[in-house]
A and B are shown apart, each in its own frame.
Chain A
């Protein structure tokens, strides 16, 4: 089994592609930090009992005035920046993975059905998709959250899903149209396979690779979108951790020289997005059949 894996093309390309390795290492570090936040964070930044205003706006530990448990300094509420970042990354991963799972499932289903049955179903869904597309994802999520105020993280996920599923539907439709008339589909049909069976067993596995690339890129985009929405004050509620909100708070102290309020959450955010983008680049090249025969 392991030997088989070691000899596989996918793995050998992966190891040769330095940027993919770097990307996944970065992503893995942040992911582990986020998952184990309650165990490694020096402080629970959203438990008021552990906060003290006397500790507010402490600079990072290596600077003059830095204090012991606060490795990267504290914000204006006395929250430890490192702890808040770890908890904030949890929100980023939660929102990012929920959105690509839900929007991906909806989009793949709609795109598959539209392309398979074509005709009026295809026309109607694609016109709806066009309408969604003339909005931008960002603007739409912003408006939805501006209207349905105060719904917490599930609402943020829902708003982004509503604005985002079209991306998957369009990609899936194009991909299905590409394989729909292939010989093996005709063969499955000749063997008397039902529509459902043909769709799930034959079309889906062959049409899914482009979706994987879209999902990888989209994960980064969704993480950035959540941060943007929270930065603008329409995203995650004020009592929940979010990298975007941390930076928004740091903005108030930008002229006071409290750079650590912005730089560290910024680095965390960039790490997540950069990590997934490096992986997505590798995935795109691996799955692109035109580049495959090198």
Chain B
């Protein structure tokens, strides 16, 4: 089959994603068009009508809706999302400056939650009624019942303030790698600063994946193919990982992918709590300041990232489970 079918599938998914992106941009644009006039914020509360009109004209906000939208799309395709209302700096530069910090945090959190979530899930499914498993399950129940901001605040309170074990804010020492990319991965100080925010961001995800893995493993271990594998005298390692876990990973990976959007949203919360100099923090400031171009660009970029990751996950899905066909 199937290389061709898979290729056709990917092309179709990309086309669909473009339609979704267009819809997202249209919705964003429509909302901003009708709600919250930035001119009032920018020209100042005491501006005269003439001053307001001038601001409106220079920003091009006096043109009809569809003209504004099409010029936005035409510019966006060329990678130009306009200038920030507040700082008058190209929006994309503003976001890209802060993106490395956000990506490093998100990747670390994702890795933590996938690794710990799957490992602890498997461990707790081996002896589901042992004390250790019960502790893990109770912990995971708290993990899904604590909002991200509370996890962050509690970690700061206990590990940052009371015990003074880890730095509670900022990114620490960063090293310039290439271009604008400054990394905190390469210094001890940077890594120490990463621990609390990454734990905060990954905690909910970790708990969800743990419970999913455990549930899946408990079911898979009852299946005939697992019993056959045991009966063949295969080692525990092979049965657990090659037979049971492989099938369990399919829904786990799917959910992890679906949670990407939430991960990005929660990174906004996490960055704000830990004063992390990332793009989520930028978005929050822009919301407070009614800086529409930054918000639109941020939403478009995150939608693009989420859609791309979901396409990759669908492909990964096919590799993990040969039974799925792309038609």
Interface residues of A (CB under 8 A from B): 127, 130-131, 133-139, 142-144, 146-149, 220, 224-225, 227-228, 231-234, 244, 247, 250-251, 254-255, 257, 259, 262-263, 266, 269-270, 273-274, 277-278
| Partner pick for A139 among B148, B161, B264, CB 8 A cutoff | B264
B161 touches A134 (CB 8 A): no
Interface CB pairs A-B, < 8 A, 9 = A133-B261, A134-B20, A134-B306, A135-B261, A138-B266, A138-B269, A254-B161, A269-B147, A277-B144
B307 at the interface (CB under 8 A from A): yes
Taking a contact as CB atoms under 8 Å apart, the answer to whether B150 and A266 are in contact is: yes
Q: Is the CB of A247 within 8 A of B24?
A: no
Among the listed stretches B50-58, B152-160, B231-239, which one makes contact with chain A, having 4 or more residues with CB under 8 Å of it? Answer: B152-160
Assess whether A270 is in contact with B161, with CB atoms less than 8 Å apart: no
Residues in A neighbouring B107, C-beta threshold 8 A: none
A262–B19 CA distance with the chains assembled, in angstroms: 44
Interface residues, chain B, with chain A CB atoms under 8 Å away: 16, 19-20, 23-24, 27, 31-32, 35-36, 141-142, 144-150, 153-154, 156-157, 161, 258, 261-262, 264-266, 268-269, 272-273, 284, 287-288, 295, 299, 302-303, 306-307
Instruction: Among B147, B150, B295, find the residue whose CB has the most chain A CB atoms closer than 10 A.
Output: B147
Other-chain contact of A148, B35, B157, B303 (Cβ < 8 Å): B35
Taken together as a complex, chains A and B put the C-alpha atoms of A269 and B150 apart, in Å, by: 9
Chain B residues lying within 8 Å of A233, measured Cβ to Cβ, are 288
Q: Which residue of A lies closest to B286 (CB)?
A: A146
How many angstroms between the C-alpha atoms of A244 and B150 in the bound complex?
A: 9
Going nearest first, the 6 A-B pairs with the smallest beta carbon separation are A146-B287, A136-B261, A138-B265, A139-B265, A224-B147, A274-B145
Do B287 and A234 touch across chains, with their CB atoms under 8 A apart? yes
A161 to chain B, nearest CB (A): 16
Closest to B303 in A: A134
Query: Which residues of A lie under 8 Å from residue B269 when comparing CB positions?
Result: 138, 228, 231-232
Chain A residues within 8 Å of B156, by CB: 254
Residues of A within 8 A of B262 (CB): 136-138
A266→B153 contact, CB < 8 A: yes
- Interface pair A130/B20, CB less than 8 Å apart: yes
B266 with A247: CB separation less than 8 A: no
Q: Is there contact, CB below 8 Å, between B141 and A277?
A: yes
Q: In the assembled complex, which residues on chain A have CB atoms less than 8 Å from the CB atom of B36?
A: 147-149
Cβ 8 A contact of B287, one of A142, A231, A251: A142
